[in-house]
């Protein structure tokens, strides 16, 4: 049997020894100072960005790294981006020739997908931070631009990376503090909405500069030696927290199984597995048996594969703390080059996030075999993304917008699943308020309501999904990326799968209705309605164990129809109601 070539990905190790003597109080002050600096970056970006996908949806990540590209701090936004940022920094610096080529005031633009883990629209800016001529850190932001010159503003059917957008493989946007005008003009020239891209790019620049200033003030306040010693202690603490959790998990090999609806080109399902190995206080997440890279864009580059694994495990084991590099040291990720979770150029990867989200659910499916009380049943498993664009009737101006949408969450040992929340991969993001949407875009929201019977039955019921119907007031185009249309979220410990899976449909003015999952550049004519169905979460525990009063309350609230309740919980109708 031929050996499988694999790559093992590990977090940065300790840079020094003897740091346990760093003052714990100073360490905490510095840790909170770092988190404050990251939050200042986030606030500067949000307050200066031009497009709602940044300032409303929060489709970005901000982070600060030390000179060895180890995570110092990040601000809550899009979790899936967070674990990719070290790859962005490393690749951006390589792109300009390494650390020897860096100057104070430099800012690097980088969006090559295999280094960012994303599609080209997710553009990173990286700023090296110098103190007295010494490189001490990096500030970095990766944010979603509405368009960067791909075959469409958003696509589900690309066949190579070159169709997906203009690539900036690590180029200096600012050199020594001075704008490189040629690079700036190229970025704007390769966008259908250059004003919005210009605004968001400049906002990213403001953000990294804000973070650099806050970080330098923190270092100067405490001194570089004290700062570095405290950081090492901070890393060690983060590692200890995660290892303490993993040490309680039974050692063993646990296999989680998942499936993608399709690759965007053909309609065949794509089953895959992820192996979780627990050995003492260490965890290994193994993707080496993943399918080969797909011809369509559902390939997930290494940065996002690693990020999904770290998020899934550290959200369980991280004790709710803001993560740093130490939280990832106990987690190894194994991938196979040329596979769906480790594509190489020119494999398309525009829909990188959808297999990453499924992988997180599959990792929890594996954890459930060891500790079913530790995880939830499967959620709707998707962000049911819609990206819109067109030209306004009155002015001819181009417009674009896009958003994730919430799904029902899985039930768990302690209670029912939450109704209509964004997937954990995007748990700190949001979608725009209806008032903002209807003011900025040519549509009306006909319906926004919870979906009865969408949550899986169980001792604890799965969370409900959401129905959102967009009536178009002008002609527009949309790209829809809706996964898990063929597989409702699974239940755990005898709980039933979700009652309704994700789906999308176009209802024409004449009543014609077309159902789909993935679609690129679908014309939505004036007067037509796009119906987005966001599915529910799976149930936990046997339905026969659900409290009859809880069943009747669900019916009263409209969460479960009486017909479905009588089918799923017959015991509730054999028990007289409590007076």
- The pLDDT tens digits for 375-399 are 999 999 999 999 999 999 999 999 8
13: CB partners within 8 A, 6+ apart: 329
The pLDDT value recorded for residue 430 is 77
Q: Is the pLDDT of residue 4 over 80?
A: no
Split at pLDDT 50, 70, 90, the class of 577 is low
Distance CA 304, CA 341 (A): 9
Distance CA 76, CA 39 (A): 8
- The pLDDT tens digits for 494-545 are 999 999 999 999 999 999 999 999 999 999 999 999 999 999 999 999 999 9
Distance CA 273, CA 325 (A): 27
Instruction: Provide mean pLDDT across the span 6-19.
Output: 71
The pLDDT value recorded for residue 18 is 47
Q: Which has the closest alpha carbon to 362: 343, 381, 346?
A: 381
Q: How many CA atoms lie within 13 A of 82 on its CB side?
A: 31
Lowest mean pLDDT among 196-210, 309-323, 357-371: 309-323
Neighbours of 499 (CB within 10 A): 28
| pTM score | 0.92
Q: Is the pLDDT of residue 14 over 70?
A: no
- What mean pLDDT value characterizes the chain? 93
What is the domain partition of the chain in residue ranges? 19-233, 376-579
Split at pLDDT 50, 70, 90, the class of 206 is very high
Q: Is the pLDDT of residue 17 over 50?
A: no
The pLDDT value recorded for residue 20 is 58
Q: Is the pLDDT of residue 457 over 60?
A: yes
- The answer to whether the CB of 404 falls within 8 A of the CB of 384 is yes
Q: Which has the closest alpha carbon to 400: 46, 45, 50, 42?
A: 50
- The answer to whether the CB of 96 falls within 8 A of the CB of 172 is yes
- The answer to whether the CB of 483 falls within 8 A of the CB of 358 is yes
User: DSSP state, 453?
Assistant: T
The pLDDT value recorded for residue 78 is 76
- The pLDDT tens digits for 240-252 are 999 999 999 999 9
Would you call 479 helix, strand, or coil by DSSP? strand
Q: Is the pLDDT of residue 576 over 70?
A: no
The pLDDT value recorded for residue 1 is 39
Q: Which has the closest alpha carbon to 107: 237, 250, 225, 210?
A: 210
Q: How many helices (H) and strands (E) does the chain have?
A: 13, 21
Neighbours of 183 (CB within 10 A): 16
The pLDDT value recorded for residue 211 is 97
The pLDDT value recorded for residue 365 is 95
The pLDDT value recorded for residue 11 is 84
Split at pLDDT 50, 70, 90, the class of 15 is low
98: CB partners within 8 A, 6+ apart: none
């Amino acid at each position: 049997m031929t050996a499988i070539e694999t790559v093992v990905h590990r977090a940065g190790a300790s840079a020094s020894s003897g740091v346990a003597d760093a003052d714990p109080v100073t360490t905490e002050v510095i840790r909170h100072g770092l988190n404050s600096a990251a939050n200042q970056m986030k606030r500067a970006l949000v307050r200066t960005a031009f497009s709602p996908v940044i300032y409303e949806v929060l489709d970005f990540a901000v982070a600060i790294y030390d000179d060895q590209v180890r995570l110092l701090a990040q601000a809550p936004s899009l979790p899936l981006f967070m674990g990719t940022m070290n790859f962005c920094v490393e690749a951006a610096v390589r792109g300009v020739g390494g650390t020897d080529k860096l100057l104070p005031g430099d800012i690097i633009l980088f969006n090559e997908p295999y280094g960012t883990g994303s599609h080209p629209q997710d553009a990173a800016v990286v700023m090296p931070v110098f103190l007295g001529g010494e490189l001490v850190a990096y500030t970095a932001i990766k944010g979603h631009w509405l368009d960067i010159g791909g075959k469409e503003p958003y696509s589900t059917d690309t066949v190579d990376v070159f169709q997906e957008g203009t690539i900036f493989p690590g180029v200096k946007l600012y050199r020594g503090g001075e704008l490189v005008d040629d690079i700036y003009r190229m970025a704007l020239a390769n966008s259908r909405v250059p004003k919005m891209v210009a605004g968001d790019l400049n906002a990213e620049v403001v953000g990294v500069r804000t973070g650099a200033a806050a970080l330098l003030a923190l270092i100067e306040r405490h001194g570089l030696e004290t700062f570095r010693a405290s950081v090492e202690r901070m890393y060690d603490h983060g590692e200890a927290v995660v290892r303490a959790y993993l040490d309680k998990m039974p050692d063993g090999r646990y296999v989680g199984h998942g499936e993608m609806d399709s690759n965007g080109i053909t309609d065949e399902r794509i089953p895959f597995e992820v192996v979780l190995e627990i050995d003492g206080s260490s965890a290994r997440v193994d993707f080496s048996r993943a399918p080969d890279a797909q011809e369509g864009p559902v390939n997930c580059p290494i940065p996002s594969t690693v990020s999904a694994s770290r998020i899934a495990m550290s959200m369980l084991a991280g004790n709710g703390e803001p993560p740093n590099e130490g939280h990832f040291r106990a987690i190894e990720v194994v991938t196979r080059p040329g596979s769906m979770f480790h594509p190489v150029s020119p494999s398309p990867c525009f829909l990188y996030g959808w297999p990453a989200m499924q992988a997180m659910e599959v990792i929890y499916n594996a954890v459930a075999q060891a500790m079913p009380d530790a995880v939830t049943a499967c959620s709707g498993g998707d962000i049911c993304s819609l990206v819109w664009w067109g030209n306004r009737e009155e002015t001819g101006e181009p417009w674009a917008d896009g958003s994730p949408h919430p799904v029902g969450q899985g039930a768990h040992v302690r209670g029912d699943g939450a109704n209509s929340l964004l997937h954990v991969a995007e748990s700190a993001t949001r979608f725009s308020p209806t008032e903002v949407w209807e003011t900025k875009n040519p549509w009306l929201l006909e319906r926004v309501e919870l979906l009865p019977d969408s949550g899986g039955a169980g001792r604890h019921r799965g969370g409900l999904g959401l129905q959102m119907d967009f009536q178009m007031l002008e002609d527009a185009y949309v790209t829809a990326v809706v996964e898990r249309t063929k597989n409702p979220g699974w239940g755990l410990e005898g709980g039933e799968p979700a009652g309704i899976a994700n789906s999308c449909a176009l209802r024409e003015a004449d009543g014609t209705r077309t159902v789909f999952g993935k679609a690129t550049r679908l014309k939505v004519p004036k007067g037509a309605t796009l119906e987005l169905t966001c599915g529910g979460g799976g149930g936990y525990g046997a339905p026969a164990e659900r409290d009859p009063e809880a069943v009747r309350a669900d019916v009263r609230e409209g969460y479960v129809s009486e017909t479905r309740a009588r089918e799923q919980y017959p015991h509730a109708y054999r028990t007289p109601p409590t007076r």
